[in-house]
Structure 1
Amino acid sequence: MFQPGQLKSYDELNSALDHLLAGEDDIVSHLANASSLLNYFLDNVNWVGFYTMKNGQLQLGPFQGLPACVTIPVGRGVCGTAVNEDKVMRVADVYAFPGHIACDANSKSEIVIPVHRNGEIFGVLDIDAPVTDRFSADDERGLEAFVKVLEKHLSTAS
């Protein structure tokens, strides 16, 4: 459906996500396709995926990359902090982040964006990179917009 390098901006990527999810209503399929799309088109990343809220903690969801931590308590690590504070966490050097949870020793920077469904925190989009300071303010804005497209589809999914 897509070719590497075909999408040149977050606007194009977000439009591709919107078209990909249109007409589908399965949450797991939405998350799986969203993580695959990002993994395929973002350069210099080594893990892209979702953690969803289950029993008061984050539970591993669909992802692309090496095996990952299965559960993360709210308030722990970059993902748990993003949920606890309900804000984007853009970390230039994960080893300088207090309480960082190292699922993959090759990851050096990370961005985590909270995902909401019907007004509640549903989980997070987590992206790791094998280089420090991989994620810019432009990446943050583009990925927040990506999550907004995803949230629109999650609101009617089951």
Structure 2
Amino acid sequence: MKFEILKDKIDTLLLQKNTIGIKLQAICDLLEREILHYDWVGFYFKNGDKNELKLAQYTGEETEHTIIPFGKGICGQVAVTNKNFVVQDVSEQENYISCGWKVKSEIVIPIFVNEENVGQIDIDSHTANIFSADDEEFLEFICKKVAKIL
């Protein structure tokens, strides 16, 4: 399965002697390139002591959503609930921040360091109803690996 091969590639990327930022960018680039339904891949992290997320590394179309208040949109909700959020059809979400008319579905997985939600990986797809339990498990794997380098 493709996810198993990508897990090995993620492990290799994280072992390289690069900065955290370079490693995170490499993960974004790899996922967007290798998984056809990952059209935008990015990391958001808690912005200091503020109750907001700040966009870090990403791959895909530029977004104006570089700061997201806790509770706002899918990412902001994950910051509050500390739970994965899979949205198969963004048009059905009332508390959704539109990143572009092409986005049809989104998955956001939190990153925990010492049991604290410090950030998340956010994936947008131009295809509705595309994310599976395999996507969720794979992204959880990535978040656990990323947490170890933070």
Shift of residue 20, structure 1, vs aligned partner: 1.0
Please tell me the root mean square deviation across aligned C-alpha atoms, in Å.
Answer: 1.4
Q: Distance in 1 between matches of 2:113 and 2:27?
A: 15
TM score, norm. by length of structure 1: 0.86
Q: Which amino acid aligns with 1:9?
A: K
Shift of residue 117, structure 1, vs aligned partner: 2.5
* 1:57 is aligned to 2:52: yes
Shift of residue 32, structure 1, vs aligned partner: 0.9
% identical aligned pairs: 35
Q: Distance in 2 between matches of 1:23 and 1:109?
A: 32
Corresponding residue to 1:123 among 113, 119, 138: 119
Q: Which residue of 1 aligns with 2:41?
A: 48
Paired residues for 1:84-95 under 5 Å: 84-95=80-91
- The size of the alignment, in residue pairs, is 147
Shift of residue 113, structure 1, vs aligned partner: 0.4
Corresponding residue to 1:144 among 131, 140, 150: 140
Q: Distance in 1 between matches of 2:104 and 2:31?
A: 18
Corresponding residue to 1:71 among 67, 90, 95: 67
TM score, norm. by length of structure 2: 0.91
**Structure 2 unaligned regions, length at least 5:** none
Q: Which residue of 2 aligns with 1:33?
A: 26
**Structure 1 unaligned regions, length at least 5:** 1-7
Higher relative contact order (CA 8 A, sep 6+): 1
Paired residues for 1:1-12 under 5 Å: 8-12=1-5
* 1:83 is aligned to 2:79: yes
